[in-house]
Amino acid sequence: MQELIKIENLSFGYPDGQQALTDINLGIYRGDSVAIVGPNGAGKSTLVLHFNGILRSNGHVKLLGKPIDDNNLKWVRSRVGVVFQNPDDQLFSPTVFDDVAFGPMNMGYSQAEVEQAVKMALGLVGMSGFEKRSPHHLSVGEKKRIAMATVLSMSPEVLVIDEPTSNLDPRGKWDIIEVLKGFSITKIIVSHDLEMVRELCHRMVIIDHGRVAADAKTIDVLADKKLLVAHGLAAA
Ligand SMILES: Nc1ncnc2c1ncn2[C@@H]1O[C@H](COP(=O)(O)OP(=O)(O)O)[C@@H](O)[C@H]1O
Ligand SMILES: [Mg+2]
């Protein structure tokens, strides 16, 4: 089976010299639901930003066999939707409609297609009727759903979502889990919430110190207390 996303020997350092990723190798297959877990500062968000070319890699990241580069970013971003950890980084328009319509408009959809895409995306995240609201006046949980809708409106093949349940109360968290459960597309979920991971992901990748420390079935990783403790995911 061909990988949707293939990462080969990816290393990345920030301009200030901070080495964030070292020799990452990872394949994401169609229909996968993969958790990327690891302690704070492990490199998870840095990795996620490579999935749709926000951070670029000189050919080390491929989508459907094609290296992600400056010339195919528009295509890449229509196929891979990345939801940032902080929804305030994703929402910048005066209304929810405008934010969710941004991707489809940018892709040159017709007015009718844009409206259809917004309706579909808001429906998927349970936020129909919020079109005219200001994203900045919503609760964190609502903002997170709208941030998800801004990428779902492009009908991506892969949804990458960075810490979907952080800063949510238990009800907000379980609401998001239910929403994510309803999506049949390929999912990459960054979190250290093992309860959510158990619910949603059949595979777990542990990132620690910028390296892949484990890549295995969720049930096997969760059963390995020593491994979880070693990477700060469980108390000793
Ligand atoms: N913009 C940045 N500039 C410099 N260093 C950064 C930047 N963003 C993250 N880092 C560093 O890169 C490493 C990985 O960070 P990050 O990918 O955010 O980890 P995680 O998402 O797992 O918490 C950390 O050491 C962090 O301090
Ligand atoms: Mg992060």
Cβ burial of 90 (10 Å; 0-12, 13-18, 19+) is buried
Among 212, 231, 215, CA closest to 9: 212
Rounded to an integer, what distance in angstroms lies between the CA atom of residue 103 and that of residue 96?
13
17 lines ligand 1 (CB under 6 A): no
> What is the pLDDT averaged over residues 119-136?
97
What pLDDT does residue 79 have? Answer: 96
Enumerate residues 6+ apart whose C-beta is below 8 A from 168: 140, 141, 144, 176
Residue 65: what pLDDT?
A: 95
Q: Which pLDDT score is estimated for 227?
A: 97
The pairing of beta strand 33-37 with beta strand 203-208: parallel
Residue 218 one-letter amino acid = T
Residue 199, pLDDT > 80, answer yes
| 100 ligand 1 Cβ < 6 A | no
**pTM assigned to the model:** 0.95
pLDDT at residue 57, as a whole number: 84
Does domain 3-230 correspond to CATH entry 3.30.2310.20? Answer: no
Residue 173 banded pLDDT, cuts 50, 70, 90: very high
Please tell me the distance between residue 172's alpha carbon and the centre of ligand 2 in angstroms: 20
pLDDT at 97: 98
Which residues neighbour 42 within 8 Å (Cβ) at sequence distance 6 or greater? 207, 208, 209, 210, 231
Residue boundaries of the structural domains of the chain: 3-230
CB 79 within 8 A of CB 156: yes
Ligand 1 pocket check: which of 10, 12, 14 to mutate, most ligand atoms within 8 Å of Cβ?
A: 14
pLDDT at residue number 192: 86
pLDDT(2) > 80: no
On average, the pLDDT of the chain sits at 95
What residues contact 165, with CB distance under 8 A and at least 6 apart? 172, 173, 176, 177, 191, 193, 196
CB of 94 sitting under 6 A from ligand 1: no
pLDDT for residue 53 is more than 80:
yes
Q: Does the beta carbon of 18 lie inside 6 Å of ligand 1?
A: yes
Residues 7, 3: Cα–Cα separation, whole Å = 10
Distance 13 CA to ligand 2 centre (A): 15
Q: Which atom of ligand 1 is nearest to the CA of 85?
A: 21
Supply the pLDDT for residue 58: 85
